Structure 1
Amino acid sequence: MSLTHKTTIGILWNFMDQLLRRGMASIVTLLLARLLLPEDFGLLAMVLVFLTIASAMMDSGLQQAILRLPTLGPRDASTAFFSNIGFGVVAYALLYFSAPLIADFYAEPRLVVLVRIGGLVVLINAFEVIQGAMLNRALDFRTRMKAGIPGSVISGSVAVLLGWLGFGVWALVGQMLTAAFVTTALMWWWGSWRPHLTFDMDAFKAMFSFGYKMFLSRMLDVVFVNLYVLVIAKLFAASVAGLFFFADRLKELVLNQLVAAIQNVTFPALASIQHDPVRLKDAYRRILQLMVYLLFPGVLLMAALARPLFEALFPDRWLDAVPYLQLMCIAAVMYPLSSLNLNVLKVKGRSDLFLGLEVIKKLLICGVLALTWQHGVIAILIGQIVVAVLSYIPNAWFSRTLIDYSIREQCVDFLPSLMLSSVIALCCWLAVEHLAASPDWSPWAALLGLGCLSGASYLLLSCLLRFPAWQSGVGLIRDRLSQRKVENLHAS
């Protein structure tokens, strides 16, 4: 099986996994929005800032180091596995003892026990990181899907039950812990890799020399991505932080589903051709075209339909989050472009440049946030859009240096999808505003009718305009059908 075919199959399996898991997450989010208050989501947002930092410390970049090694011996994987467990124990200990300080920072005493119980997810995930990396290296996303779907279903059921029983924020914490435990257990049940009782210090040093820069980069990213929640939770009420966090969670349901399905597969696949610049550039162009073709209409239509989405699905107490979601979706347009260019640095092993770029972008975030925080949440979100646009330029600069994929070439590849998506989303938003003024306004009719019409228009126009991603998808289906015919003929 060719690398292209194997990668495509991996993307499809991973996309299916993301689709089912995000679909389940959407249903659970819908139910929890009816059972919980914005304050409950605000409390979880405060906790997650520190849990995410601890998770980054637990991983320490070793997963990325495992994925990019051309050859991986059993001692390498075992060393990374036991290192992650050790880092996880240290990270949880820091969480446990710093819980009172976190509670004092927010002036919220309930956070002490929330941090200490919720932090157990770091220890659970320490057993999953390398097992998941081994599945990613093998592009075995079918097994990941088999482990992830039950975890989503069971944890979602636990969360809804706890919410219905009146446990408030503990429903969200229970969902997080249950998902981590079930997914990790099933991944070990179905995964074939097992660690050996060995630890190679030389292997650790080699992996950590690459991984620690990725760890520092991720730590910076985690801190500054969550800086918005931290600042909003500190300056405003927990309910405002909850609205912000809830809107961000809805955006992630679309963003992660589309981006993660491609990114999880392409990094280990492209790492295998990192020394062939011609193939690497061609592969990246195809991936960029596919990512923007899927993501741009998804996030922009979500922004256009945010109002009927909230009115149809959520109680009125969540309506103030509508403009938050719209601005977050606009900022998210740049995410696939920046993440793909950063992926080039990881594939080429330039974690030093990766770290340098993260420092530059974080300084940019600090500067913009310093100018906007006094003007409210909307101003902070507009600042996010500015940061997203400006961050793309240095991210893309090194792609030209490393694989000769210039900003101009990237613009040629992504602008058609961006322009078409923007025009359709703008028309959709104008239609929503016009219909909302009518006495016969029906959010369900607007959501389903305009959503289907906009999606169909995008597909039809992209076909007529011969977008490369559309043509590649059609070609893949034809190749697959031809292969099936050949297989059936041989079988008969």
Structure 2
Amino acid sequence: MSLSNKTAIGILWNFSDQLLRRGMASLVTLLLARLLVPEDFGLLAMVLVFLTIASAMMDSGLQQAILRMPTLGPRDASTAFFSNIAFGVLAYGLLYASAPLIADFYAEPRLIVLVRIGGIVVLINSFEVIQGAMLNRALDFRTRMKAGIPGSVVSGGVAVLLGWLGFGVWALVGQMLTAALVTTALMWWWGSWRPRLEFDVVSFKAMFRFGYKMFLSRMLDVLFVNLYVLLIAKLFSASVAGLFFFAERLKELVINQLVTAVQNVTFPALASIQADPVRLKSAYRQILQVMVYLLFPAMLLLAALAEPLFLTLLPERWLAAVPYLQLMCIAAVMYPLSTLNLNVLKVKGRSDLFLGLEIVKKVLICAVLAVTWRHGVMAILIGQIVVAVVSYIPNAWFSRELINYSIREQLADFLPALLLASAVAGTTWWAVPALLAIWPAPVVLVVSGLLAGAAYLLLSCWLRFAAWQYGAGWIQERLSQRKVGNTAC
């Protein structure tokens, strides 16, 4: 099977996995929003800041090192596996010991037990990282889907039950722990890879030379992505942090669905052609065109339809999160562009440049936050948009240097989709207030969403967008193969 077909099938399986899991997560989040209050989500947001840092320490960049190695022996994988477990134990120990300090920082005593119990997820996930990397490396996303969907279903049921019984924030913690436990167990049940009782110091040093820079980059990213929640929880209240966190969670349900599905498949696939710059550039152009074609309208229409969405699905106490979600979606438009350009550095093994770019962006975040934090949450979110736009420039610069994919070429590849999505979403955003005055919110949501989506698809077909042609060509090829197969039978 060709690389393009193998990658396309991998994306399809991974997209299906993400779609079902994110769909379940969306349903559970909406149900929990009716059972819990913003303060409960705010408490979880405070905890997740530190759990995410501990998870980055546990991974230490070894998963990325495994994925980019041209050849991988059994000793290499076993070395990475036992290293992850050791790092996981260390990370949880630090988390457990620092729980009282975290509670003191927020002046919230409940965080001590929440951090210590919730932190167990780091230990559980340390058994999953390399098993998952081996499946990713083989582009076996079908097995990942078989493990992930039951985890989402079971953990969602546990969360809703605990929320209904009045356990508050513990419903969210229970969901997190159950999802990790079930998914990890099933991944080991269905995955074929097993570690050997061996450890290669030379292999560890080689992987860690690449991985530690990815770890430092990841740590910087985690610290500064969560800096917004940390700052809002400290400056305002758990309720405001909960509204911010809830809006961010809804945004990520959409953006991670699309970006994660593509990135999980394309990184190992593109790593296999890293020595061929012509093929690598061509593949990146196609991936960027397809990703922005899907993501731009998704994020901008989510912003345009945020108010009828909240009025339809959520209690009134969550309406204050609508403007937060709208600004987050605008900032997220730049996310796939930055992600793909940074992927070039990872595929080329330039973790030094990756780390340097992360440091530059974090300095920019600090500078913008120094100006915006005094002016409230909305100002902080406008600052996010500024950071997202400015950060794209250095990310794209190195794609020109490494694979000759210039900023001008990138603009030519993504600007048509951005302009069309902006026009469709802008028209929808303008029409929504008038429609809400005469129609119920559910009707506005469904009718506006369908009309806007249809307009985007038809106009992109009429304008002959490259992504539309890729998709149509791939579908025709698959149908032709199936027809030939049926004829042969």
Q: Distance in 2 between matches of 1:116 and 1:135?
A: 30
- Residue in 2 that maps onto 1:157: 157
Matching of residues 447-466 of structure 1 within 5 Å: 447-466=445-464
When structure 1 is superposed on structure 2, of 276-285 and 473-482 the one drifting more is 473-482
- Residue in 2 that maps onto 1:51: 51
2:478 to 469, 477, 480: 480
Q: Distance in 2 between matches of 1:280 and 1:341?
A: 12
Q: CA deviation at 1:489?
A: 2.4
- Residue in 1 that maps onto 2:233: 233
**2:321 aligned partner, one-letter code:** A
**Counterpart secondary structure, 2:166:** coil
Q: CA deviation at 1:405?
A: 0.2
- Residue in 2 that maps onto 1:430: 430
- Residue in 2 that maps onto 1:200: 200
- Residue in 1 that maps onto 2:390: 390
CA offsets per residue over residues 140-188 of structure 1, 9 Å max, x none? 0000000000000000000000000000000000000000000000000
Q: Distance in 1 between matches of 2:57 and 2:76?
A: 19
Matching of residues 242-321 of structure 1 within 5 Å: 242-321=242-321
Q: Distance in 2 between matches of 1:55 and 1:238?
A: 23
Q: CA deviation at 1:488?
A: 1.9
Provide the alpha-carbon RMSD of the alignment: 0.5
**Counterpart secondary structure, 1:198:** coil
Q: CA deviation at 1:427?
A: 0.5
The runs of 5 or more residues in structure 2 that have no matched partner are none
**Counterpart secondary structure, 2:355:** helix
- Residue in 1 that maps onto 2:8: 8
Q: Distance in 2 between matches of 1:335 and 1:443?
A: 30
Aligned length: 489
- Residue in 1 that maps onto 2:98: 98
**Counterpart secondary structure, 1:472:** helix
- Residue in 2 that maps onto 1:111: 111
Q: CA deviation at 1:210?
A: 0.2
**Counterpart secondary structure, 1:289:** helix
**Counterpart secondary structure, 2:456:** helix
- Residue in 1 that maps onto 2:330: 330
CA offsets per residue over residues 255-286 of structure 1, 9 Å max, x none? 00010010000000000000000000000000
The reply to whether residue 380 of structure 1 matches residue 380 of structure 2 is yes
**Counterpart secondary structure, 1:147:** helix
**1:445 aligned partner, one-letter code:** V
Q: Distance in 1 between matches of 2:370 and 2:427?
A: 35
**Counterpart secondary structure, 2:99:** helix
**2:477 aligned partner, one-letter code:** D
**1:247 aligned partner, one-letter code:** A
**Counterpart secondary structure, 1:323:** helix
- Residue in 1 that maps onto 2:171: 171
- Residue in 2 that maps onto 1:87: 87
**1:450 aligned partner, one-letter code:** S
Q: Distance in 2 between matches of 1:194 and 1:14?
A: 23
**1:288 aligned partner, one-letter code:** L
- Residue in 2 that maps onto 1:471: 469
CA offsets per residue over residues 398-445 of structure 1, 9 Å max, x none? 000000000000000000000000000001011102223x2x331100
Q: Provide the TM-score with structure 1 as the length reference.
A: 0.99
**1:48 aligned partner, one-letter code:** L
CA offsets per residue over residues 293-334 of structure 1, 9 Å max, x none? 000000000000000000110000000000000000000000
Q: Distance in 2 between matches of 1:141 and 1:459?
A: 28
Q: Distance in 1 between matches of 2:150 and 2:285?
A: 35
**Counterpart secondary structure, 2:167:** coil
Moved over 2 A (4+): none
**1:349 aligned partner, one-letter code:** G
Q: Distance in 2 between matches of 1:452 and 1:189?
A: 41
Q: Distance in 2 between matches of 1:296 and 1:234?
A: 33
**1:340 aligned partner, one-letter code:** L
Q: Distance in 2 between matches of 1:463 and 1:185?
A: 44
**Counterpart secondary structure, 2:405:** coil
The runs of 5 or more residues in structure 1 that have no matched partner are none
